Structure 1
Amino acid sequence: MCKELKTRVLRIPPHSSEDLTSQQRECVLEVLRSTSAALGNGEVVALPTDTIYGLACVAQNSSAVRRVYDIKGRNGHKPLAICVGEIQDIYRFCKVSVKEALLSDLLPGPVTLVLERSDTLNADLNPFTKLIGVRIPDHPFMRRLCQMCGEPLALTSANVSAHTSTVAASEFEDLWPSLAVVVDGGPIGDQNRLGSTVVDLSVCGRYRIIRPGCALSATVKVLEGKHGLLEDPGDQ
């Protein structure tokens, strides 16, 4: 059973906001500091991405990872992805078999790339597979948070397992008591509820779509049209 926390609900301007005032920038910085501190203390937080709201913890913290599973009621054999701030961070935690230009064409963006994991990544995170999904959301708050933490974040959707993904903080209010911080960035947009497009790039020269998500056609165009990868139908 998850312990109940005194949850801090912290609001930031919507992702689409441009030309923030100095006061708004200072507000975002304060929320970044508070969220980073909570993550550093081994807590689980909720935050907006470029697709849906997510739950996050420091991926290298095994007890925090277990709490994410407990909060969601998630099957322990379903993997969590990691989120990093920069393309170069991917090389720390993954064995990359594609060109950096391909990574740069897809990330930051609404795509999860599945690659072979490196030994640097926490062995308690998805111990049942040699692969790991990695994201760099096209969301300035998320990217700055990863940079500030200096560690990969384990990331999953902010909902009870098997329930609908959430695109507003109010949609997962039942989870708030188990979270240290909820970052409310406003509604994201129902068109993003499908989540990120998940593509397996662990086989050289091939790709396999694991989840179509909200950016399938654009992703396939990059993989096939620009980089000449062939689709691997897998077990289909």
Structure 2
Amino acid sequence: MLYESICMSTLRILQCSATTLTNCVQEATDCILKGGIVAIPTDTVYGLTSSLFSIHKLYEVKRRQPNKPIAFCLADVSDIALYADVDIPAELLNRLLPGPVTVLFRQADHLPLLVNHSVVGFRVINHNFVMKLCQQVGQPLPLTSANIANERSCLEVSEFKSIHPNLSLIVDAGKISSSDPRSRIGSTVVDFSLPGTFKIVREGQALQHCLSVLTDSVYGLQQR
């Protein structure tokens, strides 16, 4: 076998590395498309994902209030405009993403709603496994951190053992390393839903980088 599969009841844990990457992506894709909940590594913390049709399961596993929004992971920065009204320059977005940033936009009126919220968060994650997974699944992947709501986020698989019984598959890429001591706070969240402005909703890991880009006078954005 090209990957190590550890069976725990119906849960499987795949050890993901450069040599097992392709198989891990395929296994995760199959699981997601069959309605499973998959724990995955990201460029910030471990996350949980599913198909668009299984979002309710993510909320149940995480014990998250249904009125709380959830972000969607995409394969490419340009894909954001397929699902949202993007009125900022592509150059700006490409300076922020891929990376540890969540951008908020209004959902496009001409498309089916991703969720029952007018403003939706999008991520393009700087992690080879996640990028390939998004490409393979071919649809936005709902994404939330792999922890119970209001508990600390997790940098390695052993830290979210309490929810293992509720998962179908875990892709274990080892401990997520970060030189930022605040790594558990996750991505920086920036709201672009009001044209011509931005608002920092959560400081996150990339705050200083985001501010340096967003306050560049060439874009003419006002901070709310």
Task: Assess same fold via TM > 0.5.
Answer: yes
- Deviation of the 1:176 alpha carbon: 1.2
Aligned mate of 1:183, from 165, 171, 182: 171
- Say whether 1:10 aligns with 2:10: no
Per the alignment, residue 196 of structure 1 pairs with 187
Q: Within 2, Cα distance between the matches of 1:144 and 1:48?
A: 12
Where do 1:81-96 residues align within 5 Å?
Answer: 81-96=71-86
Q: Is 1:52 the equivalent of 2:45?
A: yes
Following TM superposition, by how much is the alpha carbon of 1:189 offset from its aligned partner in structure 2, in angstroms? Answer: 2.9
Corresponding position of 2:144: 156
TM-score normalised over the length of structure 2: 0.90
Kept in 2: contact 1:7–1:181 (CA 8 A): yes
Could you say what secondary structure the match of 2:98 adopts?
coil
Give the corresponding residue for 1:16: none
Give CA-to-partner distance per residue, 1:117-166, whole Å, 9 cap, x none.
1246653x531x20100000111110110000000000000000000011
Shift of 1:5: 6.3
Task: Determine helix, strand or coil for the equivalent of 1:29.
Answer: helix
In structure 2, the CA distance between the partners of 1:105 and 1:162, relative to structure 1 (3 Å rule), is same
Show structure 1 runs of 4+ deviating over 4 A. Answer: 119-122
> For the residues of structure 1 that align with 2:23 and 2:191, how far apart are their CA atoms?
36
Cα distance between partner residues in 2 of 1:5 and 1:229:
52
SS of 1:193 mapped into structure 2:
helix
* Whole-Å separation in 2 of the counterparts to 1:73 and 1:10: 25
Equivalent position to 2:55, from 47, 62, 65: 65
Residue 224 in 1 paired to residue 203 in 2?
A: no
Q: For residue 132 of structure 1, give the secondary structure of its aligned residue in structure 2.
A: strand
Closer/same/farther in 2, CA of residues 217 and 29 from structure 1, 3 Å limit: same
2-structure distance, mates of 1:65, 1:121: 18
**CA distance in 1: counterparts of 2:146 and 2:71, whole angstroms:** 13
For residues 227 and 46 of structure 1, what CA distance do their matches in structure 2 show? 37
Aligned equivalent of 2:64: 74
Alpha carbons of structure 1 residues 206 and 140: separation in structure 2 relative to 1, 3 Å = same
Q: Mark the runs of 5 or more structure 1 residues left unpaired by the alignment.
A: 14-19
Structure 1 contact 54–157 (Cα < 8 Å) conserved: yes
Alignment gaps of 5+ in structure 2: 1-7
CA distance 1:122–1:36, change in 2 (3 Å): farther
Check conservation: 1:5, 1:179, Cα contact below 8 A: no
For the residues of structure 2 that align with 1:72 and 1:163, how far apart are their CA atoms?
10
Q: Name 1:215's counterpart in structure 2.
A: 206
How far apart are the structure 2 equivalents of 1:86 and 1:50? 15
Q: TM-score, normalised by structure 1?
A: 0.86
Alignment partner, residue 34 of structure 1: 27
Aligned counterpart for 1:170 among listed residues 141, 151, 158: 158
Q: Which amino acid aligns with 1:231?
A: Q
> Match of 1:57, as an amino acid?
S
Query: Does structure 2 retain, via aligned residues, the 8 Å contact 1:71–1:175?
Result: yes
Deviation (angstroms), 1:178: 1.0
Amino acid at match of 1:95: D
Find the aligned partners of 1:54 and 1:30 in 2 and give their Cα distance. Answer: 19
Cα-Cα RMSD: 1.6
